[in-house]
Amino acid sequence: MLDRLTVLRSGRGRLLLAGDLVALLAFAVIGRRSHAEETGLEAAGAVLGTAAPFLVGWVVALVVLRVPGPRTVDGPRAVEGPRELVGAAARVWVVAFPIAVLVRAIGLGRFSPWTFYVVAFLAAFALLAIWRVAFAYLGRRGASAVR
């Protein structure tokens, strides 16, 4: 299944994916803190449990959509700039989020109030977008330093 992840075909793609997953973990930490739940090292398992549905949704959506990562392919499908990277994240998130909602509901045995979904959708996407803009900017700086 992971062989379908085109983002894994380059070092930059693997870094992008790792950052995406860290952004979703940060979302879980922020959410747990906002509800006065533990977030330290002693709560690493609980944080991972909170993040797991979103991580699963993200990876499944990447596999299903086969979204190219940075410099994983040549030509017009290559994804490099901030607009393209955030746009690709938006396409993935629209698919990943409903998967995450279902996985989370199965784990909890219930769905959450609709307000949770609105906040979770926007907050997690904001973190993904911030990461991807930073990734694109740092990638440009690195590329210009090499020239």
For the chain, give every domain's residue range: 2-146
The two most distant CA atoms of the chain are separated, in Å, by 55
pLDDT tens, residue by residue, 17-41: 999 999 999 999 998 888 766 667 7
- What's residue 123's pLDDT? 97
Q: Which amino acid is at 9?
A: R
Is the pLDDT score of 125 beyond 60? Answer: yes
Identify the residue whose tokens are 């740092």. 138
The mean pLDDT of the chain is: 83
For the record, the structure tokens of 117 come out as 């979904």
CB 27 within 8 A of CB 127: yes
pTM, to two decimals: 0.82
Percent of the residues in the chain that have a pLDDT greater than 70, as a whole number = 76
- How large is the average pLDDT for residues 86-111? 96
* Cβ proximity of 78 and 19 under 8 Å: no
Q: Which tens digits make up the pLDDT trace of 30-85?
A: 988 887 666 677 677 888 899 999 999 999 999 888 776 555 434 444 557 899 89
At residue 131 the predicted structure's pLDDT band, cuts being 50, 70 and 90, is: very high
